[in-house]
Structure 1
Amino acid sequence: MSEPLPEGQPSRLRRALAAAGRVATAPARGAAYLVDSARAHQHFFLPVLNGALGDQLAARHDPRALRMSFRVGGHDVPVAALALRGPRRPTVVFVHGLMGDEQIWQTGLADAPDYHRYGPRLAAETDARVLYVRFNSGLHLSENGRALSLLLTELATTYPDALGPLALVGHSMGGLVIRSAGYYGSTGPLAAGSEPLAVSNESLAAAKPTNELGQPSTESAPWLAYLRAVFLLGTPNDGSWLEQNSHFAAHLLQRIDLFPTRFLSNALNQRSNGIKDLRRSILVDEDWQGPQADDRAAPRTAVPLLPGVAYHILMGAWLKTNRPAALRQYFGDGLVSRGSAQGATTFGNEAALPPGTTVRTAEFHQQHHSGLLTHPEVYQYLKHWL
């Protein structure tokens, strides 16, 4: 004879039925969790999707394709709605990297509830005005560079009396987009082949470089008159070793020319144009439009530095100092090699720098690629030089 169950305790049968019910409903509960999680972190899902396939989304006008825009409170905001007011204040524009969005400058999933990243801290601790942009990182670097130049042109023409000295801060791919924007901005206010801005010719003329900011009048985009500093955090100025290996693997598999290798090669080649451009950090349209664009040693247009701008190259060193120097040089911050971040072909020759241009380099030890977004010493560097 079994002992009676304590009062209030369910029988074995009820416990078994409850367990069976939990097992039966597990898939539905799991799906509901995934849906809720996707909704809660949609800002993460869309940038990843665009980084991987954004060029294809844009080509078929998919509503999930992101557009270059300023962001406030998780929403795209037209320049006219920013409502910037004078007097002139230093302005910092943050530009994210591949598969990122503006949130990386503000908060992260693993951050403490009261922790603030670079953007909110600068806004609270300095007189700087902080702005964020989001873009489709699956598009060509040059397409995003031209779009950023147009967006900054609209900012300068809309708020000529509120915009002060301008600093651009880019992480990884974002730094390359900034450099490409400088190239297209320096070739004229509205680059050929660009969508026209909703600003008048009178507004463009009024926003030309002014004596107040100490810049001579040029035919460059008006935002360049305000530009004072560019910060490149973990930027692959001379290309990404990871994408170089992907490009080599895809070509090798294609040359083997068997069905499985062709399938794998085609799958690899589905990566976005933005990712492919990282192989050699292609910043100009002509370099990816040319017939030799896919060659291993394809030509690359040199994008010069801008006159009167202070460039700051901030690099991470992922491996410990007791590792072989060659490994530390190659892996750099884990995604960008040290040599590429330094960008010797662009930044290495001090004698060739334009008038008034300076280059400073800082390395942060035992910091990986994404760690550059949260490192306290990186923040102090930004705060000091802004």
Structure 2
Amino acid sequence: MPELPPEGQPSRLRRALAAAGRVATAPVRGAAYLVGSARAHQHFFLPVLNGALGDQLAARYDPRALRMSFRVDGHDVSVAALGLRAPRQQTVVFLHGLMGDEQIWQTGFADAPDYRRYGPRLAAEAGVRALYIRFNSGLHLSENGRELNCLLSELATAYPDALGKLVLVGHSMGGLIIRSAGYYGSSGGQLEVKSEPLKTPEPNAKEPGQPLTINSHLLTEGAPWLAHLRAVFLLGTPNDGSWLEQNSHFAAHLLKRIDLFPTRFLSNALNQRSNGIKDLRRSILVDEDWQDAHADDLAPPRTAVPLLPGVAYHLLMGSWLKTNRPAALRQYFGDGLVSRGSAQGADIFGNEAALPPGTSVRTAEFQQQHHSGLLTHPEVYQYLKHWI
């Protein structure tokens, strides 16, 4: 007699038929997954396109070229339409990185249904006002920096009573644009320090919110948002450039020097990447540097953008490789896209004796975390919640 399967277990025939069914329906299930994934990520199409070719789109006034704007529920929103009401509420403004958008701070395709990322969680648990900005990451960093300075100035002008302490959080390229905006907001790095503090309303027991203490070191007429600025968080920001873009530039330069038809073709193809990507080679934050005649040299000039006085800077970085890997290798690859040395920005952030008045710098490294993992890491969130 044939051996019967143990009670409660399917027979071999049923298992074989089930396996055959799974194989037969695999293409359908795979296609359904791809369609679902594409729908969930369709908001990324324009940011990715702009990150790769955004400067070219903007140059020919292509309607697909993104413009820097605050974003609410997936739509561009003017400053006037934000309708900020709560008096002197601490406000956190989030800026994404290359080829990203504002949704990386809020939700993700693989997130659990009830999972909230940094922006919504901080709003709910820390009582801050979370604002999100989307921009064309294919433009020069300095172009976006100047635009951010104008946008934040408009925000501070429109809501002088609603805007309390201001905190800026930038991931990767977003952190560089924050630094560039500070440069242009402070009149090209030259601050007019005023000794007289701005008079603020006395705290009213009937009104919510805390009294605002103005940062008098950054009290400038041209950029009123600087007077509110208290902290800047840079997550995986290549303050001294990206090794990946440095290698891309070197490869394009070498292929061009070989000067054969195939190598010229490859060099020209590599050089079609956007100005925003090219600026990441040395983290060029001011117009004069990319306009310089030697901007494409292997060692181009770079203007040092100073830190802002009275601001707390937080450098958060990931370490992608395991701790048993050689230290030099872990230092070079960093979070996979940004080296540890670049994230630390030793030239600007490393000299404590040269820090402006009231400025502080803190660093935190998160082990076995890649570049995008810094956007969802629970320890990164706890750090933000603690220091914000």
Q: Shorter-chain TM-score category?
A: 0.7 to 0.9
Tell me the residue number matched to 1:233.
235
Q: Give the fraction of aligned pairs with identical amino acids, expressed as a percent.
A: 84
Distance across 1 between alignment mates of 2:321 and 2:274 = 29
From the superposition, tell whether residues 256 and 69 of structure 1 become closer, same or farther in structure 2 (CA, over 3 Å).
same
Tell me the residue number matched to 1:111.
111
CA contact (8 A) 1:188 1:219 kept: no
Amino acid at match of 2:262: P
Amino acid at match of 2:91: T
User: Is 1:308 the counterpart of 2:322 in the alignment?
Assistant: no
TM-score by length of 1: 0.85
Give runs of aligned pairs for residues 129-140 of structure 1, distance below 5 A.
Answer: 129-140=129-140
Amino acid at match of 2:198: T
Amino acid at match of 2:260: L
Tell me the residue number matched to 1:147.
147
Tell me the residue number matched to 2:357.
355
Say which SS state the counterpart of residue 329 (structure 2) adopts: helix
Distance across 2 between alignment mates of 1:324 and 1:33 = 39
Distance across 1 between alignment mates of 2:331 and 2:103 = 30
The one of 317, 326, 335 equivalent to 2:328 is 326
CA contact (8 A) 2:37 2:109 kept: no
Distance across 1 between alignment mates of 2:157 and 2:264 = 51
Give runs of aligned pairs for residues 207-218 of structure 1, distance below 5 A.
Answer: 210-212=198-200, 213-216=213-216, 217-218=219-220
Tell me the residue number matched to 1:366.
368
Q: CA deviation at 1:41?
A: 2.8
User: Is 1:47 the counterpart of 2:35 in the alignment?
Assistant: no
CA contact (8 A) 2:214 2:228 kept: no
Q: CA deviation at 1:329?
A: 0.4
Give runs of aligned pairs for residues 270-309 of structure 1, distance below 5 A.
Answer: 270-309=272-311
Q: Provide the aligned length of Structure 1 versus Structure 2.
A: 342
Q: CA deviation at 1:86?
A: 3.0
Q: CA deviation at 1:110?
A: 1.1
The one of 247, 251, 271 equivalent to 1:269 is 271
Q: CA deviation at 1:263?
A: 0.6
Distance across 1 between alignment mates of 2:221 and 2:89 = 24
Distance across 2 between alignment mates of 1:330 and 1:34 = 35
Gaps of 5+ in 1: 1-21, 190-207
User: Is 1:183 the counterpart of 2:183 in the alignment?
Assistant: yes
Distance across 1 between alignment mates of 2:268 and 2:368 = 36
Give runs of aligned pairs for residues 49-198 of structure 1, distance below 5 A.
Answer: 49-187=49-187
Superimposed CA distance per residue, residues 106-165 of structure 1 (whole angstroms, 9 cap, x where no aligned partner): 111111111110001001111200000000000000000000010000000000000000
CA contact (8 A) 1:209 1:225 kept: no
- CA RMSD in angstroms comes to 2.1
Say which SS state the counterpart of residue 362 (structure 2) adopts: strand
CA contact (8 A) 1:209 1:222 kept: no
Distance across 2 between alignment mates of 1:93 and 1:314 = 17
Distance across 1 between alignment mates of 2:222 and 2:309 = 12
From the superposition, tell whether residues 293 and 168 of structure 1 become closer, same or farther in structure 2 (CA, over 3 Å).
same
From the superposition, tell whether residues 350 and 188 of structure 1 become closer, same or farther in structure 2 (CA, over 3 Å).
closer
Q: CA deviation at 1:258?
A: 0.8
Moved over 2 A (4+): 32-42, 208-220
Distance across 2 between alignment mates of 1:384 and 1:137 = 30
CA contact (8 A) 2:54 2:136 kept: yes
Distance across 1 between alignment mates of 2:271 and 2:354 = 38
Superimposed CA distance per residue, residues 285-305 of structure 1 (whole angstroms, 9 cap, x where no aligned partner): 000001010011111000000
Distance across 1 between alignment mates of 2:120 and 2:180 = 26
Amino acid at match of 2:329: L
Say which SS state the counterpart of residue 249 (structure 1) adopts: helix
Gaps of 5+ in 2: 1-23, 190-195, 201-212
Distance across 2 between alignment mates of 1:110 and 1:279 = 31
Say which SS state the counterpart of residue 235 (structure 1) adopts: coil
Superimposed CA distance per residue, residues 61-96 of structure 1 (whole angstroms, 9 cap, x where no aligned partner): 111111100000000000000000132110000000
Superimposed CA distance per residue, residues 196-220 of structure 1 (whole angstroms, 9 cap, x where no aligned partner): xxxxxxxxxxxx9834323334345
Tell me the residue number matched to 2:343.
341
Q: CA deviation at 1:228?
A: 0.1
Superimposed CA distance per residue, residues 329-377 of structure 1 (whole angstroms, 9 cap, x where no aligned partner): 0000000000000000010000000000000000000101000000000
Superimposed CA distance per residue, residues 231-266 of structure 1 (whole angstroms, 9 cap, x where no aligned partner): 000000000000000000000001111111111000
CA contact (8 A) 2:170 2:234 kept: yes
Distance across 1 between alignment mates of 2:161 and 2:148 = 21
Amino acid at match of 2:368: Q
Say which SS state the counterpart of residue 218 (structure 1) adopts: coil
Q: CA deviation at 1:39?
A: 5.2
CA contact (8 A) 2:55 2:139 kept: yes
CA contact (8 A) 1:210 1:225 kept: no
From the superposition, tell whether residues 37 and 334 of structure 1 become closer, same or farther in structure 2 (CA, over 3 Å).
closer
Say which SS state the counterpart of residue 365 (structure 2) adopts: strand
Distance across 1 between alignment mates of 2:377 and 2:300 = 36
CA contact (8 A) 2:186 2:220 kept: no
